[in-house]
Amino acid sequence: MNIRIIVLLFMAMCGATFFADAQSENKFIRRGNDAFKEGDFKKAEIDYRKALEKNQNSTKGEFNLGGAMYEQKSFEEATKTYEKLASGNLTPLQKAGTYHNLGNSLLQSQQLEPAIEAYKNALRNNPNDEDTKYNLEYARRMLKQQQQQQNKDQNQDQNKDQNKDQKQDQKQDQKQDQKQDQKQDQQQSQNQQNKNDQQQPQQAQAKQISKEDAERMLQALKDNEKKTLEKLRLEKLKNAKKVKSEKDW
């Protein structure tokens, strides 16, 4: 982005004092221009400021001072200088140059929308300026890229927030599931305990019935044993009589 300066043009001056001040102002502007061309922008700034001390309303001094500040990357100071100058009484070509440089300073400060507006103002005063047209298109492309990147970052932030919310929801769901599982386990354990409590009397009763049955069976066995013993005793007596009766004396 090339910055522009005004090269001094000699003009006839009227009045001795005014002529002397103009000569002094022009001398510093010429020295500043020479330093600017040599790349010594700090010295150029000093000379332009000296020119402005001689004439605070020096359009050339103010315009070129903005260029020296720009080349030293003091973009904020350059912007203020060009904004002040643009509000003054300038010719269309002077306005076009001032707005062009103002656009460059704003562009370097990443103030893209104000830079675009400055370039538009420059073209309103000089519609055929190809450098300004190029810079305007460049600033528009940068703004478009910036907006696309902002939208991308915003979408990423939204996705991060959604993922964060989903994780929080998942954690809450897991906690609820764990509580539900614990509740179900407790309920199942309670149901099993109740079932066991109900079965214990039945089992005790079953054991008691089995014991009574065993006693009855034992008693029946005893009764049968008595009957068997009695039957054997009777048969023994019968056999004994048979033996005696059959004995031959």
The whole-angstrom separation of Cα 104 and Cα 95 is 14
Q: What is the pLDDT of residue 206?
A: 41
Q: What percent of the chain has pLDDT over 90?
A: 50
The overall average pLDDT reported for the chain is: 80
Q: Based on the fold, state whether residues 87 and 135 are members of the same structural domain.
A: yes
Q: Is residue 68 part of a domain?
A: yes
Q: Final residue of a domain: which of 33, 55, 72? A: 72
Residue 23's pLDDT band (cuts 50, 70, 90):
confident
The whole-angstrom separation of Cα 172 and Cα 119 is 56
Count of domains in the chain?
A: 2
Q: Final residue of a domain: which of 92, 121, 144? A: 144
Q: What is the pLDDT of residue 78?
A: 96
Q: Is residue 171 part of a domain?
A: no
The whole-angstrom separation of Cα 169 and Cα 41 is 61
Q: Is residue 203 part of a domain?
A: no
The whole-angstrom separation of Cα 145 and Cα 139 is 10
Q: What is the pLDDT of residue 218?
A: 75
Q: Is residue 60 part of a domain?
A: yes
How far are the Cα atoms of 122, 124, 126, 132 from residue 91, in angstroms, in the given order? 12, 12, 11, 17
Q: What is the pLDDT of residue 93?
A: 94
56-115-76 Cα angle (round to 5): 50
| Better pLDDT: 5 or 19 | 5
Q: Is residue 170 part of a domain?
A: no
The whole-angstrom separation of Cα 153 and Cα 172 is 28
Q: Based on the fold, state whether residues 63 and 33 are members of the same structural domain.
A: yes
Q: Which two tokens stand for residue 152?
A: 């991308």
- How many CB atoms within 10 Å of residue 15? 9
Q: Based on the fold, state whether residues 93 and 131 are members of the same structural domain.
A: yes
Per-residue pLDDT tens over the stretch 127-145: 999 999 999 999 999 999 9
CATH number, domain of 122, equals 1.25.40.10
The whole-angstrom separation of Cα 113 and Cα 119 is 10
Per-residue pLDDT tens over the stretch 60-91: 999 999 999 999 999 999 999 999 999 999 99
Identify the DSSP state of 147.
H
Which of 14, 25, 71 has its CA nearest to residue 48?
25
Q: Based on the fold, state whether residues 81 and 35 are members of the same structural domain.
A: no
Per-residue pLDDT tens over the stretch 184-209: 878 787 777 776 666 555 544 444 55
Q: Is residue 49 part of a domain?
A: yes
Q: Final residue of a domain: which of 98, 113, 144? A: 144
Q: What is the pLDDT of residue 168?
A: 82
Q: Based on the fold, state whether residues 52 and 89 are members of the same structural domain.
A: no
Q: Where is 154: in which H helix or E strand?
A: helix 130-246
Q: Is residue 173 part of a domain?
A: no
Which of 115, 126, 117 has its CA nearest to residue 91?
126
Predicted confidence (pLDDT) at residue 150 exceeds the cutoff of 60: yes
Counting other chains too, the contacts that 61-66 makes at CB distance below 8 Å and 24 or more residues apart are 61/25, 61/28, 61/29, 61/32, 63/5, 63/6, 63/94, 63/97, 63/98, 63/101, 64/5, 64/6, 64/29, 64/32, 64/33, 64/36, 66/101, 66/105
Domain that holds residue 53: 15-72
Q: Based on the fold, state whether residues 136 and 90 are members of the same structural domain.
A: yes
Residue 234's pLDDT band (cuts 50, 70, 90):
low
Q: Based on the fold, state whether residues 119 and 130 are members of the same structural domain.
A: yes
Q: Based on the fold, state whether residues 79 and 136 are members of the same structural domain.
A: yes
DSSP states along 160-191: HHHHHHHHHHHHHHHHHHHHHHHHHHHHHHHH
Q: Is residue 172 part of a domain?
A: no
Q: What is the pLDDT of residue 239?
A: 53
